[in-house]
Structure 1
Amino acid sequence: MRKICLIIIDGLRNDTALAECGFLTASTEAKTARHWKMISCLPTISAPLYETLHTGLAPSDHGITSNEALRPSNRPNVFSELKQAGRATGAVAHSYFHTLYGGSAFDPFDHNEIDDPSASVPHARYYSLEGYGRANPALPSEVDLCAQAWAIAHRKAPDYLLLHSSSCDTLGHFYTSDSAEYRTQAWRVDNALSRLVPRLVGAGYDVLVTADHGMNADGHHGGDQPGLREVPFFAFCDRVKAPIDAVLDQRAIAPTVLALLRADVPDTMTAKPLL
């Protein structure tokens, strides 16, 4: 059975992905991947939508409605359901994901690298972005993140692997979505993925690529605008099925991941899997 890698490109608008991400769009032209527009839940804020992507619930239902309200997830989610089923998971992601799914608040000295079969997420590499600002974006290199994800996939082969990139969101805040910096960073992420995704596919992973939310011309997100809610969804997986002109619901990702892994989908995930 094939494994699943979910890649979240934080803050990437759908129109920017189609305009700038040459590898992803070339893959759709070559029919090795398919693309759909996906609609984010509200509010279009990172931590609430990380939880949406993993629980299949809107923020108003799972209760995390802002980054400042971050706490460990208390709803059935992809990580907890796979742990319960005896399946391994891994992550290369922002520290918010450790707080949500790693079992405690993030401490960079304790949780930067985790390789512990008993842990909630057994194989993980977390980054903090501590101290970031316009003069110091504090961003890890995209190819380094991809290399870390590949190391986990190659050495540990978790059934579910998360890769989360923060750079489009960070530069979008500093320079806005209508900037060369934001558009070029979208390409840089895509360029790194062009070296990772074929390796993952060759190693037995189906790969799903999406974003939590978009970005607007004010360098902000949180509200209800097309540029904030319309995000890309690319599937390097012929088992993912939807009409090519369908506009997808972000809440479908969690049940889709579990269904692809032939794991039980909890009753709380009411969106239909994309199968």
Structure 2
Amino acid sequence: MAEKVVLVLFDAVGYDAALRDCGTLEGLVEAGLARRWCMRSVLPSLSAPVYETLHTGTPPYVHGIRSNDRVVLSKGPHVFGLAREAGRTTGAVAHYFFSELYNVAPYDALRDMEVDDPSLAIQHGRFYSELGYTKWNLNLPSETDLFTRATLLIRRHCPDYLLIHGFAPDALGHLYGTASVEYHHAVWALDNALAEVLHLWRDEGYRVLVTSDHGQTEDGRHGGTTDAERLVPFYDVGHPQGGVATETVSQLAVAPTLLSIMGVKPPPVMTVAPLSGEFGPS
């Protein structure tokens, strides 16, 4: 049966950091109410290439988003577009790279920061930037504001697919490194804020997936091949089989998983099977 689905993307949260700092999510796994996988990111382990992989089910050498230096409209097919074509409603509360990938590029904040337009791939979008952030002034939405915006969007528009993207761990990891108090607090703060809204989304009928795009090294880098940069968690809150999966899975599975939960059949270019089970009806 088709379900609505939320994907929460904790930026730059590696697998070990999630197990250490995400008490809310780990508590659900321990109680058998969520399933956790270890997931290996594609290469390069950079944000924009992985954002596109998460929504196309293809690696960067196929989809063409190769770095953070040139973000252009996705050539697709991608989750937002396929959901919309199937009559589903889409939304996002996320970094402006997602607006550039799926709505319009380049990003113009006055035009694109808040959109409610059924003709767009992301029909209901609330976007932010980190432009101007420094060690002394992190110009980012708070975790509570992020999830409040998402909850309001759910109540007002009830999207079948909603992306929620928290950027702070990436920013603080770059500034202080992943061994720092600042980085671990940012990871914990996202998990802690999620605890206050997760039950609200579940009550609205949403399956909730939580993952990261990539990890990060202790000296604040990512893009390379180490496990610290590539291994991330993937949680499925509402999966019929809770607990910990033993296998390490591919990031290419995320897009077909999202589609299958919504009852939309993935296109042939998405070659990895979904983690949610069999494909739903088209």
If the length of structure 1 is used for normalisation, what is the TM-score? 0.97
1:204 equivalent to 2:205? Answer yes
SS in 2 for 1:114: strand
Q: 1:128 matched to which residue of 2?
A: 129
SS in 1 for 2:179: coil
Deviation at 1:243, TM superposition (A): 7.7
Counterparts of 1:111-190 in structure 2, within 5 Å, are: 111-190=112-191
What whole-Å deviation, never above 9, does each CA across 1:156-196 have from its counterpart, x for those lacking one?
11100000010000000000011111011110010011012
What whole-Å deviation, never above 9, does each CA across 1:223-267 have from its counterpart, x for those lacking one?
001111000011012257998201111100000110111112111
Structure 1 residues 239 and 255, CA, compared in 2 at 3 Å: closer, same or farther?
Answer: farther
One-letter amino acid of the structure 1 residue matched with residue 66 of structure 2: T
SS in 2 for 1:69: coil
Q: Is the 8 A contact 1:103 1:120 kept in 2?
A: no
In the alignment, the residues of structure 2 paired with residue 228 and residue 212 of structure 1 have an alpha-carbon distance, to the nearest angstrom, of 10
One-letter amino acid of the structure 2 residue matched with residue 230 of structure 1: L
In the alignment, the residues of structure 2 paired with residue 107 and residue 150 of structure 1 have an alpha-carbon distance, to the nearest angstrom, of 25
What whole-Å deviation, never above 9, does each CA across 1:137-169 have from its counterpart, x for those lacking one?
211101100001101111111100000010000
SS in 2 for 1:244: strand
In the alignment, the residues of structure 2 paired with residue 54 and residue 144 of structure 1 have an alpha-carbon distance, to the nearest angstrom, of 24
What whole-Å deviation, never above 9, does each CA across 1:13-47 have from its counterpart, x for those lacking one?
11000001111111111111111110000000000
1:235 equivalent to 2:236? Answer yes
- Counting aligned pairs with the same residue, the percent is 43
One-letter amino acid of the structure 2 residue matched with residue 66 of structure 1: S
Q: 2:280 matched to which residue of 1?
A: none
Q: 2:40 matched to which residue of 1?
A: 39
SS in 2 for 1:235: strand
RMSD, matched Cα:
1.4
In the alignment, the residues of structure 2 paired with residue 192 and residue 243 of structure 1 have an alpha-carbon distance, to the nearest angstrom, of 23
SS in 2 for 1:251: helix
Structure 1 residues 265 and 242, CA, compared in 2 at 3 Å: closer, same or farther?
Answer: farther
Instruction: Please identify, of 119-128 and 209-218, the stretch whose mean Cα deviation from structure 2 is larger.
Output: 119-128
Counterparts of 1:97-112 in structure 2, within 5 Å, are: 97-112=98-113
One-letter amino acid of the structure 2 residue matched with residue 201 of structure 1: R
One-letter amino acid of the structure 1 residue matched with residue 201 of structure 2: L
Task: Mark the runs of 5 or more structure 1 residues left unpaired by the alignment.
Answer: none
What whole-Å deviation, never above 9, does each CA across 1:78-118 have from its counterpart, x for those lacking one?
01111111211000000000000113321111111111222
Q: How many residues align?
A: 275
Tell me which stretches of 4 or more aligned residues in structure 1 moved more than 6 Å: 240-243
Task: Mark the runs of 5 or more structure 2 residues left unpaired by the alignment.
Answer: 278-282
Structure 1 residues 243 and 197, CA, compared in 2 at 3 Å: closer, same or farther?
Answer: closer
One-letter amino acid of the structure 2 residue matched with residue 138 of structure 1: N
